[in-house]
Amino acid sequence: MTNLRWVVMVCVGVLCVPVSAPGADGDALQALVDRVEERYAQLRDLQADFVQETRIEGFDRPLQSSGRVFLKKPGLLRWDYLEPSVEHMYVRQDQLDMYVPEHNQVLRGDLNMMMATKAPLQLLRGVGKLTEHFVVRPAADGKVGEGALPLLVLVPRIASGSEPSPIVRVVSEIQPDTYLIQTLTLHEVSGNVSTFRFSNFKTDTGLDESVFILDPPEGTVIVEDGFPQG
């Protein structure tokens, strides 16, 4: 699985699971963490538009894309890229299907076999707390987001014997009126930086499970074990 796919799974994992801090990093930070944790603990489903901007090390112009994401507890995800090209990602428990209409093909894989996505998958399924996989810190420069709320910096924990994470840190900005995560900026070891901005949130609308079922046209090729492991 490419780093871009890992980035998407981290993004969804953060959106799906309550945030908690490993100790007191300041009253303002802890108060924000508590509010976000409470908000996401009560959440049953969520949908939002997103705009993604990726700055690749060595290139002057960023890549831009946009689409919509759908989440439903426990363990259901649909992530649709709509511009500039169409690509659909479906997660149901341990299975990932990536459908690219232009290629008339579905790539299918077992997320448990993809070590790079193991932590995000656990977060998505609600198996673990965020702090089992990330250390939560305030921004080093004291920078704040909208409404003067502190930014949350998530640093991946690396288990003994595990491969290094391609993600150095994730910086999240919280929407002050709803306490939903409205911006995620992911910094990769390579120097690439991907920013996801979410808008037009809808929560607890009773999303039907049919939204998360892939039904490709007849003749679509299904490629089992379509993603590299590790």
- For residue 123, give the CATH number of its domain: 2.50.20.10
Cα gap 48→176, rounded to integer Å: 16
Q: Is residue 29 part of a domain?
A: yes
Q: Is residue 201 part of a domain?
A: yes
Beta bridge partners of 66: 51, 83
Is the pLDDT at 118 greater than 50? The verdict is: no
Q: How far is CA 203 from CA 6, 51, 71, 115, 200, in A?
A: 25, 19, 9, 30, 10
Q: Is residue 59 part of a domain?
A: yes
Is the pLDDT at 83 greater than 80? The verdict is: yes
Cα gap 73→71, rounded to integer Å: 7
- The domain containing residue 204 runs over which residues? 3-223
- The answer to which of 27-36, 56-65, 72-81 has the lowest mean pLDDT is 27-36
Q: Is residue 230 part of a domain?
A: no
Cα gap 5→83, rounded to integer Å: 16
Is the pLDDT at 121 greater than 60? The verdict is: no
Q: Is residue 181 part of a domain?
A: yes
Cα gap 10→223, rounded to integer Å: 24
Q: Is residue 66 part of a domain?
A: yes
**Total structural domains within the chain:** 1
pTM for the full predicted model = 0.82
Give me the pLDDT at residue 225, please.
78
Give me the pLDDT at residue 126, please.
44
Is the pLDDT at 3 greater than 70? The verdict is: no
Which of residues 53 and 2 earns the better pLDDT score? 53
Q: How far is CA 215 from CA 46, 81, 97, 105, in A?
A: 21, 17, 11, 12
Which of residues 14 and 173 earns the better pLDDT score? 173
Give me the pLDDT at residue 124, please.
45
Could you give phi then psi for residue 123, rounded to 5 degrees?
-65, -45
Beta bridge partners of 144: 150
**What is the identity of the amino acid at 181?**
I
Q: Is residue 96 part of a domain?
A: yes
Give me the pLDDT at residue 120, please.
44
